[in-house]
Amino acid sequence: MKSPGCFASFILLAALALHDGAAFAQSYASKSVRIVVPFPPGGAVDTMARVISPKMTDALNQPVLVDNRPGAGGNLGSDAVAKAAPDGYTILLNTAGLAISHALYRKLPFDAAKDLLPVTQPVATTLILVAGSKLPVASTRELIALAKSKPGSLNYGHAGFGSTLYFGMELLKLSAGVDILAVPYKGDAPISSALMAGEVDVAVMPLQTSLQAVKAGRLRALGVTSARRSADLPDVPTIAEAGVSGYEFVSWYGLFVPAKTPRDVVESIQRATVKVINMPEVRNRIRGMTLEIVGNTPEEFDAKYRADLAKFARIVKEARIPLQD
């Protein structure tokens, strides 16, 4: 039987541990915070980080700095955060490409499913299915009918085998049962040019890089990849509405911290982020980028992230996409 003295010592140690954990959470942030962007300066993710970082500085009462760590399709910066101290002072801002990498690469220097902890999804990226004006279709339904009547005769542009544009189109092919050939390009702008020139027939594109061309009539919007219509193109139906039952493909920007970061610290970062993205001036800038504000809880974002890990793994398997080294 344990003595009363031993039991009292156990209670004291437990109380001290709880006090230390609470004190750590209450002291966050006590020094500068880095938002690691695993892409070069000037891109959309970098822009998003620089929109929120000044207001995050105010919210956390500490400098919040943007640290660009480009390389290996975003995996270099992600690995740096996965291996950082789990204290909340190193935060990753990445896209759905993180979940794609987990499905696409045979081996990464980190485990995207275990080594990073989802904090919140500040925004979602609206993607749309577009066609060049020379292709004789005006809707997703007409595109599918044409593709089925001429298997393998149509093609689509994408920005690389690991891109969301590629996976969005491959999911459409699987869901609709059509054969459309993939043609790689080096980014969104070359794809748009190829579509307008008639070099490729269709593509899944970010709304932010194709909206003006759609409004000018140089590209034709066939469908929105998300579950609901876009406020920027309210007359364009979703792909699911067009008859591709269950189709939904949404890209996102998400904040992650190293695994084992204290829960209270995760919640502090999430609360600060949601506060910032809902400030009127920040909301206006985000909407100007044609991004949709989300700001979900850690639990909601974790569920979304896990669902995407499974979805992308299924696409790789069913579409027989070659694994990358």
Q: Which residues pair with 224 in a beta bridge?
A: 128, 238
Record the pTM: 0.88
Q: How far apart are CA 72 and CA 51, in angstroms?
A: 25
pLDDT digits (tens, 9 = 90+) for 170-197: 999 999 999 999 999 988 899 999 999 9
Query: What confidence tier does 228 reach under pLDDT thresholds 50, 70, 90?
Result: very high
Q: One fold for both 30-124+251-318 and 127-224? A: yes
Q: What is the mean pLDDT of residues 280-292?
A: 95
Q: What are the extents of the domains in the chain? A: 30-124+251-318, 127-224
User: What is the CATH T-level fold of the domain 30-124+251-318, as seen in this structure?
Assistant: D-Maltodextrin-Binding Protein; domain 2 (3.40.190)
Q: Quote the pLDDT of residue 166.
A: 96
Structure tokens at 230: 């876009």
Q: Quote the pLDDT of residue 325.
A: 86
pLDDT digits (tens, 9 = 90+) for 59-82: 999 999 999 999 998 999 999 999
Q: How far apart are CA 129 and CA 296, in angstroms?
A: 26
203 to 76, 85, 242: CA distances (angstroms): 28, 40, 16
Q: How far apart are CA 219 and CA 130, in angstroms?
A: 6
Tokens 């943007």 found at: 66
89 to 27, 65, 81, 126, 304: CA distances (angstroms): 12, 10, 10, 30, 24
DSSP 249-279: --EEEEEEEETT--HHHHHHHHHHHHHHHTS
Helix (H) or strand (E) holding 162: none
Q: Quote the pLDDT of residue 133.
A: 85
Q: How far apart are CA 65 and CA 32, in angstroms?
A: 7
pLDDT digits (tens, 9 = 90+) for 253-279: 999 999 999 999 999 999 999 999 999
Question: Right CATH number for 127-224 from 3.40.50.620, 3.40.640.10, 3.40.190.10, 1.10.565.10?
Answer: 3.40.190.10
What does the DSSP 8-state code read for residue 216?
T
Residue with the larger pLDDT of the pair 146 and 27: 146
Residues in the chain: 325
Buried-exposed string 290-300: b where 16+ CB fall within 10 A, e elsewhere:
bbbebbbbbee
pLDDT above 70: residue 287: yes
pLDDT digits (tens, 9 = 90+) for 3-33: 555 444 444 444 444 444 444 445 899 999 9
Task: Look at residues 129, 122, 93, 111 and name the one whose alpha carbon lies nearest to residue 309.
Answer: 111
Q: Quote the pLDDT of residue 104.
A: 96
